[in-house]
Structure 1
Amino acid sequence: MLKDAQGLIVTTDSAPAIAAINRFSDQMLAYGRDAETAILQAITADPTCALAHAYAAAYYLTQENRKAWQQALPYLHTAQQYCTKITDREKLYVQAISAWANQEIDVAITLHEEITNQFPRDLISVQQGQYHYFYTGDKDKLWKIAQKVLPSNLENHYLYGMVAFGLEQCDQLETSENMANQAIALNRNDPWAHHAIAHVMETQGRVYEGIAWMENFADTWENCNSMLYTHNWWHIALYYLQLENYQKVLRLYDTHIWGRANKQSPKDQVGAISLLLRLELHGVNVGDRWQGISPYLYSRIDEHALPFQDLHYVYALAKAGHHDWVNQMLVSMQYHTLSINPFLRRGWLEVAIPAAKGMVAHAQGDFRTTVVELQPVLSRLHEIGGSHAQRVLFRQVYQDAALSAQKQSWVYGITA
Structure 2
Amino acid sequence: MQHDIRGLAQTAARAEAQRAFDATVEAYLGFQLATGDRLKETLALDPAMPLAHALKGCFLLLFAKRDLAARAAKALADAQAAGAEAGLVPREAQHLSALEAWLSGDMAAAADCYDAILLDHPHDIVALKLAQYLHFYLGDAAAMRGSVARPFHAWSEAVPGYGYVLGLKAFALEETGDYAAAEATGRAAVERNPSDIWAAHAVAHVMEMQDRPGEGAPWIDGLEEHWAGCNNFAYHVYWHRCLFLLEQGRSDAVLAHYDTKVRGDLSEEYLDISNAVALLWRLEQRGIDVGGRWAELAEKSARLAEDHMLVFADAHFLMASAAAGRPGEAERLLESLERFATGYGTEADVAHEVGLPLCRAVLAHRRARYGEAVDALLPHRAALNRIGGSRAQRDLFEQLLIDAAVKGGKPALARALLSERADVRRDNAWNRQMAARIDD
Report what 1:365 is aligned to. Answer: 368
Report what 1:411 is aligned to. Answer: none
Report what 2:236 is aligned to. Answer: 231
Residue 301 of structure 1 and its aligned partner are, at CA, apart by: 2.7
Q: What aligned pairs does 1:304-343 form with structure 2 within 5 A after superposition?
A: 304-341=308-345, 343=346
Residues 129-155 of structure 1: CA distance to partner in whole angstroms, max 9, x if unpaired?
Answer: 111111111101101111222222222
Q: Structure 1 CA distance, aligned partners of 2:406 and 2:176? A: 30
Report what 1:62 is aligned to. Answer: 62
Q: What aligned pairs does 1:160-199 form with structure 2 within 5 A after superposition?
A: 160-199=166-205
Q: Structure 1 CA distance, aligned partners of 2:116 and 2:83? A: 18
CA root-mean-square deviation: 1.5
Q: Structure 1 CA distance, aligned partners of 2:48 and 2:383? A: 45
In the alignment, residue 270 of structure 1 is paired with which amino acid? S
Report what 2:145 is aligned to. Answer: 143
Q: Structure 2 CA distance, aligned partners of 1:301 and 1:167? A: 32
Q: Structure 2 CA distance, aligned partners of 1:326 and 1:2? A: 52
User: 289, 296, 313: which one pairs with 2:293?
Assistant: 289
Report what 1:245 is aligned to. Answer: 250
Alignment TM-score, normalising by the size of structure 2: 0.89
**1:92 counterpart = 2:94:** yes
* 3-state SS of 2:194 partner: coil
* 3-state SS of 2:272 partner: helix
Q: Structure 2 CA distance, aligned partners of 1:316 and 1:179? A: 36
Alignment TM-score, normalising by the size of structure 1: 0.94
Residues 293-313 of structure 1: CA distance to partner in whole angstroms, max 9, x if unpaired?
Answer: 121112223211111111100
Contact 1:99 / 1:107 at 8 angstroms: preserved in 2?
yes
Residues 330-370 of structure 1: CA distance to partner in whole angstroms, max 9, x if unpaired?
Answer: 111111122223x5444221211010010111122221211
Q: Structure 2 CA distance, aligned partners of 1:264 and 1:301? A: 11
Contact 2:310 / 2:347 at 8 angstroms: preserved in 1?
no
Report what 1:259 is aligned to. Answer: 264
Q: Structure 2 CA distance, aligned partners of 1:286 and 1:14? A: 55
Contact 1:163 / 1:179 at 8 angstroms: preserved in 2?
yes
Residues 198-249 of structure 1: CA distance to partner in whole angstroms, max 9, x if unpaired?
Answer: 01111112211111111100111221111x2101100000000001100000
Distance 1:345 1:296, change over 3 A: closer
Q: Structure 1 CA distance, aligned partners of 2:149 and 2:222? A: 28
* 3-state SS of 2:288 partner: coil
User: 358, 379, 388: which one pairs with 2:382?
Assistant: 379
Q: Structure 2 CA distance, aligned partners of 1:117 and 1:223? A: 33
Runs of 5+ in structure 2 lacking a partner? 412-440
In the alignment, residue 223 of structure 1 is paired with which amino acid? G
Q: How many residue pairs get matched?
A: 405
Contact 2:302 / 2:317 at 8 angstroms: preserved in 1?
no
Residue 86 of structure 1 and its aligned partner are, at CA, apart by: 1.0
Q: Sequence identity, in percent?
A: 30
* 3-state SS of 2:228 partner: helix
Residue 16 of structure 1 and its aligned partner are, at CA, apart by: 3.0
| Deviation >6 Å, runs of 4+ | none
Contact 2:108 / 2:138 at 8 angstroms: preserved in 1?
no
